[in-house]
C-alpha cells in the first residue's frame, strides 16, 4: 500500500518520518525548494530568526516529545524588563506592564532546525522538492497525481498535508462534491495573511535600557513586537507582526523605511543601526495564501476536519495540516496532531 504525501511542512514531514519508522511504502513531495512549509528560519552568523511560527507552550506533548527525542533545547521567551507602548499619535510610553509572551518557549536553532532533522530522517528516494501537484485522479487501480512538469506519480492513497484552501486549487477527477470544495475554501489558512519583520543587531541595547523588547503600537506599521534573540550570544533581534493589510504593504522598500522609523521611535536611535532587516509577507506566498487569505483574521479560527472533507475518494484521500487537526489547530502542536490523526486512518 503506497502513500503519497503532498506537502513537506511540519505535518507532512512528521507523517513521512512516522511511515519511515514503520517500514511503510510512501513518497513525500513538496512544491518549494526546501522543506518546512510555513516554518522559515533565517540565519545570520550564529543567530537564528523564525519568520514563521516561533513559539510553543507547556501542555503540548507532541512538540515537547519531538524536542526530547532529537535532544534539542527549548528556552524561555525573553521577558525581563518593561513594556513599550505607542499610541496612534506616535507618542511612546515605557514602564507600563511587562512582557506579554512570558511563559512561551522557543526552540534553540529555530524551528527550521527541527524540520531539517525530520527531513534528514527521510531517505532521498522517498522525498522530492520542486514538485507542484496540479491534478489528482482516482481510478479503479488507485490514485494518479500529475505534477506541473507533466510527470505522474501512482499511489494507493494520498494525503494532502496542505492548507485546505491551497488543496482546493488542485484539479480533482472526479471532482470533489461542491459541499466539500466549499468547506475547504472556507477554512482560513493560519498565518497566511501575516507579515513579519525581524531587525538584527550587534547588541541587545533595549535590554540595557530595562526593556523586554515587547512593544504594542497603535500607529504601526508593526502592531506587536518581541525580543527574537538567540538563547546564547548574538546577534540579537527584535521582531514585529505587521498590522498593515496586504494591499498596503506591496511596496517593500517603503515598508522597510517605515519599519526602521518605528523601531527608532520605540527603542531609540540605536535601533537604526541594523545588521539586517528581514521581511516575510506570507500573503504574497502562492504556496501559502490564496486571495481569500488576504482578508484579516481578528480571532483564532475554530479549526478541525469538517465532516464533509472525510471519506473522499472512497477513503483514499486524507487531509493533514494544522488547520484540520483534532486539537491545537493553528499551532505547531496542531500540525503534529494532524499527522497523528492521519497516521491512524491510513490503510
pLDDT at 98 over 70: no
pLDDT at 297: 73
pLDDT at 99 over 80: no
Q: Three-state DSSP class for 5?
A: strand
Q: What length does the chain have?
A: 347
Q: CB within 8 A of 131, min separation 6: which ones?
A: 29, 30, 31, 147, 148, 149
- Residue 48: which pLDDT band, with cuts at 50, 70 and 90? very high
| Helical packing angle, 332-345 and 61-69, nearest 10° | 90
* 2 compared with 96, residue with greater pLDDT: 2
Q: Is the pTM of this model over 0.85?
A: yes
pLDDT in tens, 121-160: 999 999 999 999 999 999 999 999 999 999 999 999 999 9
Element (H or E) spanning 313, and its range? Answer: none
Cβ atoms of residues 111 and 52 within 8 Å? yes
CA–centroid distance for 338 within its chain: 14
Q: Distance (Å, rounded) from C-alpha 37 to C-alpha 332?
A: 12
Q: Distance (Å, rounded) from C-alpha 103 to C-alpha 83?
A: 15
**CA dist 183 to 151, 179, 268, 304, 317, Å?**
29, 6, 48, 11, 15
> Average of pLDDT values for 169-179?
98
- Residue 69: which pLDDT band, with cuts at 50, 70 and 90? very high
User: Given the C-alpha cell 483514499, which residue does it identify?
Assistant: 316
Q: What share of the chain is helix, strand, coil (3-state, %, to 5)?
A: 30, 30, 40
Domains in the chain with CATH codes: 1-40+108-186+285-347 (3.50.50.60), 74-107+193-284 (3.90.660.10)
Number of alpha carbons in the 13 Å side-chain half-sphere of residue 272:
6
Number of alpha carbons in the 13 Å side-chain half-sphere of residue 281:
19
DSSP 114-170: HHHHHHHTS-GGGEESS--EEEEEEETTEEEEEETTS-EEEESEEEEES-HHHHTTS
Element (H or E) spanning 47, and its range? Answer: strand 47-50
Q: CB within 8 A of 200, min separation 6: which ones?
A: 44, 47, 49, 235, 236, 237, 274, 275, 276, 277, 278
pLDDT at 299 over 80: no
- Residue 300: which pLDDT band, with cuts at 50, 70 and 90? confident
Q: CB within 8 A of 62, min separation 6: which ones?
A: 333, 336, 337, 340
pLDDT at 12: 98
Q: Distance (Å, rounded) from C-alpha 183 to C-alpha 176?
A: 11
- Residue 319: which pLDDT band, with cuts at 50, 70 and 90? very high
Amino acid at each position: 500500500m503506497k502513500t503519497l504525501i503532498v506537502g513537506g511542512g511540519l505535518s507532512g514531514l512528521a507523517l513521512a518520518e512516522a511511515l519511515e519508522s514503520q517500514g511503510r511504502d510512501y513518497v513525500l513531495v513538496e512544491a518549494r525548494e526546501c522543506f518546512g512549509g510555513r516554518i522559515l528560519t533565517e540565519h545570520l552568523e550564529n543567530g537564528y530568526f523564525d519568520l514563521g511560527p516561533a513559539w510553543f507552550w507547556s501542555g503540548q506533548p507532541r512538540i515537547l516529545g519531538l524536542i526530547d527525542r532529537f535532544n534539542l533545547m527549548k528556552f524561555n521567551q525573553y521577558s525581563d524588563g518593561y513594556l513599550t507602548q505607542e499610541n496612534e499619535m506616535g507618542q511612546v510610553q515605557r514602564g507600563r506592564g511587562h512582557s506579554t509572551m512570558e511563559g512561551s518557549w522557543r526552540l534553540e536553532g529555530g524551528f527550521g532546525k527541527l524540520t531539517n532533522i525530520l527531513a534528514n530522517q527521510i531517505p532521498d528516494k522517498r522525498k522530492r522538492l520542486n514538485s507542484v501537484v496540479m491534478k489528482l485522479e482516482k481510478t479503479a487501480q488507485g490514485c494518479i497525481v500529475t505534477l506541473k512538469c507533466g510527470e505522474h506519480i501512482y499511489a494507493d492513497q494520498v494525503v494532502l498535508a496542505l492548507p485546505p484552501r491551497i488543496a482546493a486549487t488542485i484539479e480533482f477527477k472526479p471532482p470533489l462534491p461542491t459541499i466539500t470544495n466549499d468547506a475547504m475554501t472556507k477554512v482560513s489558512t493560519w498565518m497566511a495573511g501575516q507579515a513579519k519583520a525581524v531587525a538584527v543587531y550587534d547588541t541587545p541595547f533595549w535590554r540595557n535600557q530595562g526593556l523586554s523588547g515587547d512593544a504594542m503600537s497603535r500607529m504601526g506599521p508593526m502592531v506587536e513586537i518581541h525580543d527574537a534573540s538567540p538563547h546564547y550570544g548574538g546577534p540579537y533581534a527584535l521582531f514585529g507582526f505587521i498590522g498593515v493589510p496586504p494591499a498596503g504593504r506591496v511596496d517593500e522598500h517603503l515598508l522597510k523605511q517605515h519599519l526602521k522609523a518605528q523601531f527608532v521611535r520605540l527603542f531609540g536611535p540605536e535601533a537604526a543601526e541594523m545588521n539586517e532587516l528581514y521581511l516575510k509577507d506570507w500573503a504574497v506566498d502562492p504556496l501559502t495564501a490564496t486571495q481569500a487569505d488576504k482578508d484579516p483574521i481578528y480571532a483564532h479560527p475554530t479549526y478541525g476536519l469538517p465532516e464533509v472533507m472525510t471519506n473522499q475518494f472512497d477513503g483514499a484521500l486524507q487531509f493533514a495540516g494544522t488547520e484540520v487537526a483534532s486539537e491545537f489547530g493553528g499551532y505547531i502542536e496542531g500540525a503534529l496532531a494532524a499527522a497523528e490523526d492521519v497516521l491512524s486512518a491510513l490503510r
